[in-house]
Amino acid sequence: MIINKDVVVIGAGASGLFAAAEAGMRGRRVVVLERSAALGNKVRVSGGGRCNFTNLNVTPDNYISQNPRFCISALTGFTPRDFIEIIERYGIRYYEKEQGQLFCKISSGEVVSMLRRRCEDAGVTIVYNAKVHDITKRGDVFVIVTNNTGVFHCSSLCLATGGISYPQLGATTFGYRIAAQFGLNVIPTRPALVPLVFNAKDSADFSGLAGISVDAVVSCDGRAFRGGVLFTQRGLSGPPVLQVSSYWRAGGYISINLFPDGDAWEFLLSRRRNKAELATILSGVFSKNFARRWCEINSYVRPINQFNDKELREIAGHLHDWKLWPAKTEGYKRAEAVIGGVDTGELSSKTMEAKKVNGLYFTGEVMDVTGQLGGYNLHWAWASGYACGRHM
């Protein structure tokens, strides 16, 4: 059975559904092919079930890409306000958690329903459990062969298959494979926004601290993020650690400033005549268990009045710049995003169309554009989907 459409979108996630609705609203005949039995699986689990759907402070600087300027056009063309307008039109209530991060008040399922309803309103067909077997281009027509839902012909084909993080939610390398098949470069991928795993020594040193959180600034490769650093059974997590994981490379270190609000040297100096253990003094700043363990592993187990100036300066320096060398990340299974993907140098930043293959589009996380934590990835899904939906 051959089904003729103007547009075929592969992947019913955030970006594919958004792009499909935009194209449908322009009068294009659109079908979305989704390999799983449900749509928007990642949106559903996003933001802990409340979907951090955008950020009021979106700038190009919140994105990582080999070509940092690529995202500018799409972000200018579709702003957080534009998405908020849609959210409000569909009666979804939301709130700002912190730092411009907008979350649903009730559930991320509302955003999934909104995406589905927009598609319905725009006359878009969604085909579930579609097994795309083969894609070729004959002249100006793409031929998409599925194993179970027919053969589709279209003039515009959009790959919206997402990044390969959380494969348990349907992520595949399909988009990268099709890009490569059409001669487009794909930037090697690595997990992003992912917990870090201790090396063997740190694992032995900190195994008892799982569950403890310490307010700190964590930096890596010139980027610094503040928040609660969470000790886990295997390593470190929490917002600032997830953020720096996107900048961390195997073999590199992260630096933790345990004293982000003040000068540790002045703090220690003001207490240097105290007879209490250093760990007890630091217990006023961090949790007792962390303070004790941190002092033990650094051999700072003495009353503070027994340290000389040089030693106290060294401890202060260490509190501001505690370096750790993680062994690895927790990998794609626990990563909220992926660095790398279809090389943006191959695509038009205005339309997301491949420069050397007319009618072939990419949208969302399948591209080499990765947002920081805080609603930036979903905003990229909307902004790139909008750009591509207006043209394909």
How many residues belong to the chain? 392
46 versus 243: smaller Cβ distance to ligand FAD: 46
| 8 Å CB contact between 244 and 219 | yes
| 8 Å CB contact between 74 and 371 | no
Strand partners, 151: 2, 145
24 versus 170: smaller Cβ distance to ligand FAD: 170
Binding site for ligand FAD (CB under 6 A): 10-16, 33-36, 41-43, 45-47, 51-52, 130, 132, 160-162, 165-166, 170-172, 174, 336-337, 364-366, 375-378, 381
Q: What's the closest the beta carbon of residue 115 comes to ligand FAD, in angstroms?
A: 10
Q: What's the closest the beta carbon of residue 337 comes to ligand FAD, in angstroms?
A: 5
291 versus 383: smaller Cβ distance to ligand FAD: 383
162 versus 326: smaller Cβ distance to ligand FAD: 162
* Gyration radius from the chain CA atoms: 24
Tokens of 26: 């322009």
Residue nearest to ligand FAD (CB): 13
Q: CA nearest 371: which of 59, 49, 12, 46?
A: 59
β pairing state of 7-10 and 156-159: parallel
Q: What's the closest the beta carbon of residue 73 comes to ligand FAD, in angstroms?
A: 18
CA distance 235 to 245: 12
Q: Give how far Cα 118 sits from Cα of 94, 125, 140, 172, Å.
A: 19, 11, 28, 25
160 versus 254: smaller Cβ distance to ligand FAD: 160
21 versus 268: smaller Cβ distance to ligand FAD: 21
Q: What's the closest the beta carbon of residue 19 comes to ligand FAD, in angstroms?
A: 9
Q: What's the closest the beta carbon of residue 384 comes to ligand FAD, in angstroms?
A: 8
* Sheet containing strand 223-231, strands side by side: 322-324, 254-257, 213-220, 223-231, 235-237, 196-197, 328-329
CA distance 43 to 19: 15
Q: 């060294």: which residue's tokens?
A: 314
Q: What's the closest the beta carbon of residue 191 comes to ligand FAD, in angstroms?
A: 10
15 versus 189: smaller Cβ distance to ligand FAD: 15
| Phi, psi of 174, deg, nearest 5 | -55, -45
Q: What's the closest the beta carbon of residue 20 comes to ligand FAD, in angstroms?
A: 11
| Nearby residues of 181 by Cβ (< 8 Å), 6 or more positions away | 135
* Sheet containing strand 94-96, strands side by side: 52-55, 101-104, 94-96
Q: What's the closest the beta carbon of residue 160 comes to ligand FAD, in angstroms?
A: 5
62 versus 257: smaller Cβ distance to ligand FAD: 62
14 versus 268: smaller Cβ distance to ligand FAD: 14
Q: What's the closest the beta carbon of residue 273 comes to ligand FAD, in angstroms?
A: 49
Q: Give how far Cα 166 sits from Cα of 11, 172, 176, 194, Å.
A: 15, 9, 16, 11
Report H helices in 46-102.
71-77, 80-89
